[in-house]
Amino acid sequence: MKRLTLIATVATAPLLAIGPVAHAEKTITSDSRTTPVATSTASDGTADDVKITTAGAITLSTSGAIVTLDSSNTVTNNGTLSSEDVSDSIGILVLGGNTGTVTNDGTISLTEDYSATTTSSIVHGAFAEGSGRYGIYLKGTDAFTGDVTNSGTITIEGNDSYGILLESPLIGNLINSGSISIVGDDSTGIKISGGVTGNVTQSGSISVQGENSVGLSVDSAVSGTLSIEGSVNATGYRYTSRASATSTLAKITSYADNLLQGGSAVVVSSDVAGGIILTGSDSTITVDGTTTTTVTTSYSSTGTGSISVQGEAPALLIGSDTQDVTIGAVGTDADAYALIIKGSISAAGVYDGVTSTALQIGGDAGYTTTLTGGIRLDGSITSSSYEADSTAIHLKSGADVATLFNRGSISASSYSYAESGTTATAYGLVVDSGATLSSLNNTGTIAVTRTGESGDAVAVLDESGTLTSITNSGHIYAAVVAPTVTTAGDTVTTTATGSAIAFDLTANTTGVTLTQTAATSNSGSVAGTTSVTLTTSTATTITPYIYGDVLFGSGDDTLNIYAGYLIGAMSFGEGDDVLNIDGGATAYGDLIDPDGLGSLTIGDGRLTVTNTDTIAVKSLNLGSESELYITANPTTGENTSFTVGTATIASGATIGVRLTSLLTEPTTYTVLTADTLTAGTLASSVSQAPYLYVASAYAEDNSVYLDVRRRTAAEAGMSSGQASAYDAVFGALGADSTIADAFLVQYTRDGFYNLYNQMLPDTGVGAFRALTSINQQIGEATADRPDAGDRYGPDSVWVQEVNALVRIDDGDTLGSDTYAVGFVAGYEAMGDAGGALGVTLSLVNLQSKDTAAKVGEQNSGMFGQTGVYWRRSVGGWRFNLGGGGGGGRFKGRRVFISEDVDEDGDADVYVKNRSAWYGLTGYAFGGVAYRQDFGKAYLRPEARMDYTYLYESKQEQYGGGDGFDQVIQARSFSNLSANLGVAYGKRYENADGVWFEPEVRVGYRQTVAGDIGETVAAFTGGGSSFTISSIDNRQGALTLDFGVKAGSALSYFAVKGGVEATRHQKAYKLSFSGRAMF
């Protein structure tokens, strides 16, 4: 052997002297080879490297390996290795005990000629028929030394099959930067059974489809890092997204083989010394007061890792049912976590009754699963289900996780249809009894939503009692939403009975400290090698919050709210418990502690206690910028009160009240009684209550009291119109608790009037003013002479389209915007002496909204009118008279829309009603004008009188309930006005008699008589009527009009517009007229 080596060395020496030479290898370039190849015999029976070029291909029709590495050589596939309908087929077989490399940069295709059954466009049946197909198979008991890399494509159709199977140990790196696709049951994309001394990198894509099939399975130890830089997906479903059409969904689910459950996308059931990372971009967050700057860095060397499952198996499962598992840290300092997630993990149950879990730590047998340093999440973890539980992160018994640091997003949703009868829960984080999680730090988002008539939403559930430190500077949200049901076209929201729980820590017996603080700066880690982009963005610094109940156990617990807000119950168990609120923070919800709080301190902050219990507190401290709100129920006479050992209240502290029902009589509430009370100048404190009421706090002996009474109209600064309805509106609130509740959460003047003005009836003034403008324009049209000269004689028909917009400002009554449009047709006979008689027929539509109207609210009217008129021209003089009348029908829609106080995206209260009533109209007009021509120009001084009358019948509203519907008595309006003005224009006429006249007019209108009817109304729920007297605005109005007229011997056309303005009212008008003479 030594001699052979020497000969080879001597023989090659001359070649090396003249330059490098290619290493010998077996190169396959033919695409028609049908026999296998092995490295041990590759070169005429001797060992050699094997390379299949891009043009090369090997196709086998019998079982066995297409390429075998059975010597210390390399295998490189840039071409195609394939078989069809061959079970027990292997693309590349690697025998342990050798050294070399395996690289697939081409295609390995082990498929079959099989198609599932299709019935009514739905595919169903088995995924595959054959079995035992392997893309790359490392076999044996001895280790293989070298890297195994797939940068190409591995496609397998078969049961019990594998994309890459490492049965023997690998001393080297396992890299998949290509794609692996497997269709078949009990199969695995990549399976590591013999261990890897090196790194495992999944930067390509793995997709498996079949019952119990797994994407990536690490069943033996890895000495390096498991890096997920690409996508891994596993499912047992044929249809992986839920069909939106109910009929299609029913067809799919009628076949059991369309609902098969696959395995996890990634399973780690053995040690990984270098930790596990899902790569992605890095972000550094810098908080500077109200501005947050985020610098995001992405890298060309790493992609974004994603792990996903459609089915009940956890998307990422770390743990074993047969052994303890330890995952080492990825790095040090900021990277000292066993699991770093910068990409995404998602699980979807898809079909009814299928639970979903995105990340599970620990197996089902209780073996210890240790994540050194814990978990860091910069990306997202998402879980969703229908008619079943949904869990984003689940720490099973035996899981040992030091901390969970969430910079990203954790979300879970569970959805049930109305009347399904399913009770399910959405969980963000679950820590089972027997698991360990010491601390939770959230700077990102934890959001859970349960949609269903029963079932809870729980952001964090600790059943282990080991979670003792929680810090939140992000968003934690738990919501229970009632589903809707549609019957005969009507959509109704059902009732949800579940609980929204932010933290369930009731299993803890040693004490928990939960602190909410303002957002702080933090940075990402584990950078790639090549920077691609560096993106900087700025945004308003988030306000941290907790939505949902916080439930403590029996230890000495501390709740610190130092920023943002907490909305939900604060329930303490036994123990010496502490509640601190400062930093401008707000807490709102029930305050429960059966054995009493040890300490309650409010510095710069607000606490609103929503239960009406008596709460014991050893020590109470209210700072000068503190606000303490109790809750009172006037109906039952109960209110929140505190029994305190030592109470200290600084000057400037606010004592307020939240009312759950209407308070009809002045009442004094006891806020607290103390053994020792030290109070500042309590009389100078600002006491708060719903704006509907006035509250005043005072100390007497060792107690603090709060006097509450209804605010007077004068104190509320009401106008005369608002004040006239005040008692009636207050009485109506007693007939509708939902509307009353909306008023009881308004603590500001603007918020109160936003609701109060919606309770007032429309006075009808806007509609009358708009009708007046329309009738004035009709009168103006009849005064126009149809030609520009002195010739009269032919009859004519004419049409006019008139528009008016009247805007009335708020004053003693609510203002309004009213739009009116009318269509007028006329016929007139003109005599040779310069006179004309005519008749008109008009149709007018009115639409009016007062300034308090919300979306969907308006009064509308449709009227028909007929009239007659006379016009006479004598030289430059023109005289006209006319009048008419008609009738029509009004329709009304009133809407009450409150604010979205609970911030669920919908108004807290929405009420609407309807009404219909009739009206009668009358109008008259008369005018005189004189036209003096100056060549082409002319002046036309003129004066006219206009009269309009409107009668409205009794209006009875329905559909809104006794606390909103009203009965408005009949009312009438009239107006007589005088208008003086002068018009200036020019006439242009050609030889054919076609003429054109533009003109402008200025004038002044004054109301000389009339009456604006009072609005007398009452709520249908009872109570006295009230009267709103609208101001009859008789202020003079300046008018400015323009017009363009044109005509010929047999036709006439005009466009006119104008504006009329007083201090509180503006009217705009626009009309189009056309006339044909014959």
Domain of residue 1041, CATH code = 2.40.128.130
In a domain, 766, yes or no: yes
Last residue of a domain, one of 710, 730, 745: 710
110 secondary structure, DSSP code: E
Q: Tell me the CA distances in angstroms from 339 to 301, 385, 391, 593, one per residue in order.
A: 20, 25, 18, 38
Q: Is 1023 left (phi over 0), alpha (psi -120 to 50) or beta?
A: left
Q: Tell me the CA distances in angstroms from 725 to 245, 730, 1015, one per residue in order.
A: 52, 9, 11
762 secondary structure, DSSP code: P
Q: Which of 806, 828, 942 is nearest to 882 (CA)?
A: 828
Contact 345, 358 (CB under 8 A): yes
3-state helix, strand, coil in the chain (%, to 5): 10, 55, 40
pLDDT at 300 (0 to 100)? 57
In a domain, 481, yes or no: yes
Return the residue matching tokens 């018009």.
983
Query: Domain range for residue 385?
Result: 225-240+262-547
Give phi and psi for 313, each to the nearest 5. Answer: -70, 145
pLDDT at 906 (0 to 100)? 74
Bridge pairing between strands 188-192 and 179-183:
unpaired
Q: Is 151 exposed, middle or buried (0-12, 13-18, 19+ CB in 10 A)?
A: middle
579 and 475 inside one domain:
no
344 and 440 inside one domain:
yes
In a domain, 1035, yes or no: yes
586 and 504 inside one domain:
no
Bridge pairing between strands 214-218 and 282-288:
unpaired
Return the residue matching tokens 């004054």.
1006
Q: Which of 332, 481, 459, 469 is nearest to 393 (CA)?
A: 459
979 and 1024 inside one domain:
yes
CA dihedral for 242, 244, 246, 251, sign (positive or negative): negative
In a domain, 924, yes or no: yes
688 and 557 inside one domain:
yes
pLDDT at 835 (0 to 100)? 81
To which H or E segment does residue 235 belong? strand 231-235
Give phi and psi for 664, each to the nearest 5. Answer: -100, -20
Bridge pairing between strands 457-462 and 426-431:
parallel
Contact 349, 312 (CB under 8 A): yes
Per run of 10 residues, the mean pLDDT along the chain (length 1078 residues) is 33 37 70 94 94 96 97 98 97 98 98 93 93 97 97 98 98 98 98 98 98 98 97 97 93 93 98 96 72 66 90 98 98 93 97 98 97 97 98 98 97 93 96 98 97 96 98 97 80 86 98 92 60 70 92 97 97 97 97 97 96 98 94 95 97 90 94 94 64 91 93 94 95 92 92 94 93 93 68 74 92 88 92 83 94 84 96 89 96 91 75 96 96 93 96 96 96 96 93 89 94 94 89 83 88 90 90 80
pLDDT at 17 (0 to 100)? 36
Q: Which of 804, 742, 734 is nearest to 775 (CA)?
A: 804
459 and 354 inside one domain:
yes
- CA 710 to CA 662: how far, in whole Å? 10
SS3 letters across 852-910:
CCCCCCEEEEEEEEEEEEEEEEECCEEEEEEEEEEEEEEEEEEEEECCCCCCCCCCCCE
In a domain, 792, yes or no: yes
CA dihedral for 187, 188, 189, 192, sign (positive or negative): negative
Last residue of a domain, one of 512, 547, 582: 547
577 and 679 inside one domain:
yes
In a domain, 19, yes or no: no
- CA 36 to CA 91: how far, in whole Å? 10
Residue 984 tokens read as: 């200036």
In a domain, 1006, yes or no: yes
pLDDT at 812 (0 to 100)? 84
Last residue of a domain, one of 496, 512, 547: 547
Contact 111, 155 (CB under 8 A): yes
Return the residue matching tokens 């050798």.
98
- String of DSSP letters for 778-816: HHHHHHS-SSSSS-----EEEEEEEEEEEEE--SSS--E
- HSE of 633, CA atoms in CB hemisphere, 13 A: 11
582 and 516 inside one domain:
no
What is the b/e burial string over 466-482, where b = at least 16 CB atoms within 10 angstroms of the residue's CB? Answer: bbbebbbbbbbbbbbbb
In a domain, 212, yes or no: no
pLDDT at 178 (0 to 100)? 97
Bridge pairing between strands 162-166 and 188-192:
parallel
Contacts with 891 (C-beta within 8 Å, 6 or more apart), sequence order: 859, 860, 861, 914, 915, 916
Q: Which amino acid is at 995?
A: W
Task: Supply the angle between the helices 726-733 and 737-744 in degrees, to the nearest 10.
Answer: 110
What domain count does the chain have? 4
422 and 561 inside one domain:
no
Q: Tell me the CA distances in angstroms from 369 to 308, 362, 395, one per residue in order.
A: 22, 5, 9
Bridge pairing between strands 858-874 and 877-897:
antiparallel
Contact 197, 223 (CB under 8 A): yes
Q: Which of 202, 438, 443, 432 is nearest to 319 (CA)?
A: 432
SS3 letters across 565-612:
EEECCEECCCCCCEEEECCCEEEEECEECCCCEEEEEECCEEEEECCC
Contact 293, 537 (CB under 8 A): yes
- HSE of 70, CA atoms in CB hemisphere, 13 A: 13
**Beta strand residue intervals within 140-186, DSSP E:** 144-145, 148-150, 153-157, 162-166, 170-171, 174-176, 179-183
Question: How many Cβ atoms sit within 10 Å of the Cβ of residue 181?
Answer: 19
- CA 669 to CA 681: how far, in whole Å? 19
Residue 285 tokens read as: 């967050």
- CA 327 to CA 321: how far, in whole Å? 16
533 and 556 inside one domain:
no
Q: Which amino acid is at 139?
A: K
- CA 79 to CA 66: how far, in whole Å? 12
530 and 578 inside one domain:
no
pLDDT at 813 (0 to 100)? 85
99 secondary structure, DSSP code: B
∠736-742-744 over CA atoms, to 5°? 100
Return the residue matching tokens 């489809």.
209
992 and 851 inside one domain:
yes
- CA 440 to CA 502: how far, in whole Å? 13
Q: Which of 724, 790, 794, 731 is nearest to 761 (CA)?
A: 724
Q: Which of 154, 107, 110 is nearest to 131 (CA)?
A: 110
- CA 231 to CA 304: how far, in whole Å? 8
∠688-691-696 over CA atoms, to 5°? 35
